[in-house]
Amino acid sequence: MDQRTYNQFCATARTLDIVGERWTLLLVRELLTGPKRFGDLQHSLRGLGTGLLAARMKHLEREGLVRKVVLPAPARTPAYALTEAGEELGPAVLALARWGMKWAMGERREGEAFQAGWAVLALRAGFDPEAAVGMRTVYEFRVSDEVFHARIDDGTIETVHGPAQRPDAVIEMDDDVLVEMGEGKTTFGDAIKSGAARAFGDLPALGRLHGLFRFPQPEARTGGHS
């Protein structure tokens, strides 16, 4: 099948020619947190059929956004990773996430899939570098069956799937609590106070956690002037 094109000599149109098809940017989203096996991508994007996933990955390889790699020991299995060009889509994906938090999220709809691991990029999207100047702290998040961590290093953040070797602080909660936080129904502080979330470790690190992230307040999209 021929690739669809807007047929415009415009940087925006050319970019959308490459990443504008359904599922493509979500595949980039998944790979922004590190290399993934084909099965990992299938698990994260359950509405994406095997044939279409294979076609999308071939497209991303052909366009120079994705390359095949072999995961290090003990896995030693084939996987996909972003190229330099693919990694540079990161700020655009995070900007879409920030826009979505403000204008698109709302409440979770019936039948919508949710994975706690998607919060890995949300942490990056809401990170406030100025609030983290001089900090060197590792936070580990345990949300139901998923574990990921954030490494803060003097105004920068690295978020990674999997446990941290030596976390300074650990935060635990269930999926439904994270969903309620995403819907704006509760805050991290309220979840801690009610016992719905648990936190332990270095007290100063826990005290600074809330101030490290600035998530936009949800607003309603309207068709007319207020």
The one-character DSSP state at 132 is: G
pLDDT band with cut points at 50, 70 and 90 for residue 2: low
Q: Is the dihedral of CA 25, 26, 29, 34 positive or negative?
A: negative
Least Cα distance to 133 among 22, 217, 208, 33 occurs for: 208
Residue 209 has pLDDT above 70, yes or no: yes
Superfamily of domain 116-212: SCP2 sterol-binding domain (3.30.1050.10)
76, 120, 19, 60 alpha-carbon torsion, rounded to 10°: 0
Rounded to the nearest 10 degrees, the angle between the axes of helix 90-103 and helix 24-31 is 110
Residue 171 has a pLDDT of 97
What distance in Å separates the CA atoms of residue 92 and residue 217, rounded to the nearest whole number?
20
φ, ψ of residue 201 to 5 degrees: the values are 125, -150
CATH class entry, domain 11-88: mainly alpha
> What is the tens place of the pLDDT at every residue in 176-187?
999 998 888 888
Q: How far apart are the first and last CA of the chain?
A: 46
Q: Which residue has the tokens 């995070």?
A: 94
What distance in Å separates the CA atoms of residue 38 and residue 164, rounded to the nearest whole number?
24
> What is the tens place of the pLDDT at every residue in 120-130?
999 999 999 99
Residue 223 has a pLDDT of 57
Cβ atoms of 141 and 168 within 8 Å: the answer is no
Cβ atoms of 152 and 128 within 8 Å: the answer is no
Chain region(s) in the chain for CATH 3.30.1050.10: 116-212
138: its two tokens: 């590792």
Q: Which residue has the tokens 């989203």?
A: 29
190, 177, 168, 203 alpha-carbon torsion, rounded to 10°: 10
What distance in Å separates the CA atoms of residue 156 and residue 187, rounded to the nearest whole number?
24
pTM over 0.85, yes/no: yes
Chain region(s) in the chain for CATH 1.10.10.10: 11-88
3 state DSSP class of 142: strand
Residue ranges of alpha helices (H) inside the chain are 11-19, 24-31, 38-44, 50-62, 84-87, 90-103, 119-126, 175-183, 188-194, 203-209
What is the mean pLDDT of the segment spanning 6-28? 96
Residue 73 has a pLDDT of 85
Residue 150 has pLDDT above 70, yes or no: yes
> What is the tens place of the pLDDT at every residue in 153-173?
999 999 988 999 999 999 999
